[in-house]
């Protein structure tokens, strides 16, 4: 069984640029969630996708957007990057029915300069 994978591992961008982060869900999982984790804090929920549609969103502006593909892989897009967007971005997959246990990937460390 393949776990959750994310790419790239690290990324450095300049303020104002756009970035795309990628996630491949665990085999058999149909739900993916994205989180932002600043240093020393718990992860903050960005949004969740189920069957290619967003079905839950946290307090993040519209410049944070996502996609889920038919193979349940996912992308997080962030436009007009700000310095405060520097963080560890985590992807988690789960199966909508049943226990709904979340499995996390290793994360992408984004630095905005």
Partner 1 sequence: KQEVTQIPAALSVPEGENLVLNCSFTDSAIYNLQWFRQDPGKGLTSLLLIQSSQREQTSGRLNASLDKSSGRSTLYIAASQPGDSATYLCAVRGIATDSWGKFQFGAGTQVVVTP
Binding of partner 1 by 66 (CB under 8 A): no
Name the segment binding partner 1 (CB under 8 A); options: 21-29, 66-74, 75-83, 94-102: 94-102
Using the rule CB under 8 A, give the single segment among 12-20, 63-71, 79-87, 97-105 that binds partner 1. 97-105
**Locus of tokens 């960005």:** 46
Spell out, one character per residue from 10 to 29, where the chain touches partner 1: x when CB under 8 A holds, - when not: --------------------
- Report the C-alpha gap between 92 and 64 in whole angstroms: 17
Neighbour count for residue 61 (Cβ, 10 Å): 10
Sheet strands (E) in 29-84 = 31-37, 44-50, 53-57, 64-68, 74-78
Q: Which residue, among 67, 69, 43, 71, has the nearest Cα to 54 in the 3D structure?
A: 67
Q: How far is the CB of 102 from partner 1 (least distance, A)?
A: 6
Total interface residues for partner 1 by CB under 8 A: 28
Binding residues for partner 1, rule: CB under 8 A, are: 4, 6, 33, 35, 40-45, 48, 50, 55-56, 58, 88, 90, 92, 99-107, 109
């Amino acid at each position: 069984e393949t776990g959750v994978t994310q790419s790239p591992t690290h990324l450095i961008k300049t303020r104002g640029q756009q970035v795309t982060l990628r996630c491949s869900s665990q085999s058999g999982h149909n739900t993916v969630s994205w989180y932002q984790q600043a240093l020393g804090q718990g992860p903050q929920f960005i949004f969740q996708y189920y069957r290619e549609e967003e079905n839950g969103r946290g307090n993040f502006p519209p410049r944070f957007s996502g996609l889920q593909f038919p193979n349940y892989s996912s992308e997080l897009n962030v436009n007009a990057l700000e310095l405060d967007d520097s963080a560890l971005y985590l992807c988690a997959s789960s199966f909508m029915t049943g226990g709904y246990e979340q499995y996390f990937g290793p994360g992408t460390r984004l630095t905005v300069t």
